[in-house]
Amino acid sequence: MLCLTRKLKSTPPVDATLTLAREQRVRSRLRVCLDTGEPAGLFLPRGTILRHGDLLASEDGIVVRVRAAVEAVSRVRCGDPLLLARACYHLGNRHAEVQILHGEIRYLRDHVLDRMVRGLGLQVVAASLPFEPEDGAYLPHGHHD
């Protein structure tokens, strides 16, 4: 089994890809299968959060690019930044992870959260998209590099 033990900062040639859902990308120890079906294991430092495009390496030099899996998300688009900020506040107050984009927010599909956001006057659309939420105020913001 391929053991992926570290994140790389450089961009060497990639040998394989690994598609993971958000829940899997926040785990340091995990059995996975590369997109080719080959078994692999994540043995990363505790607290490692993987993002779409991150590179992982094994001790024998195999390089794997992480891909964010398509997930069931709720998508909210609005031209009013204040209304979107209110929605982000209320979602965060319920400890929901939120992906914030220009004029749009996304969160993992949840009918209770959808009802709350609709109650704020926003339209919620179900979608299947990669989900890359904010890291949080106390974590490094690696996806803004």
Question: Would you write out the chain's pLDDT as a tens digit for each of its 145 residues?
Answer: 999 999 998 888 999 999 999 999 999 999 999 999 999 999 999 989 999 999 999 999 999 999 999 999 999 999 999 999 999 999 999 999 999 999 999 999 999 999 999 999 999 999 999 999 998 766 655 443 3
Give the pLDDT confidence score for residue 145 in this predicted structure. Answer: 35
Q: What is residue 138's predicted lDDT score, i.e. its pLDDT?
A: 62
In this prediction, residue 143 carries a pLDDT of 44
Q: Is 101 helix (H, G, I), strand (E, B) or coil?
A: strand
Distance CA 51, CA 139 (A): 13
Domains and their CATH numbers in the chain: 2-68 (2.60.260.20), 70-130 (3.30.70.790)
Q: Report the pLDDT value the prediction gives residue 41, as an integer from 0 to 100.
A: 97
Residue 142 CB partners (closer than 8 Å, separation 6+): 49, 51, 54, 135
Tokens of 59: 């001790």
pLDDT reported for residue 144: 39
Q: How many CB atoms lie within 10 A of CB 39?
A: 10
**Distance of CA 102 to CAs 79, 81, 83, Å?**
9, 9, 13
pLDDT at 140: 57
> What per-residue confidence (pLDDT) applies to 135?
83
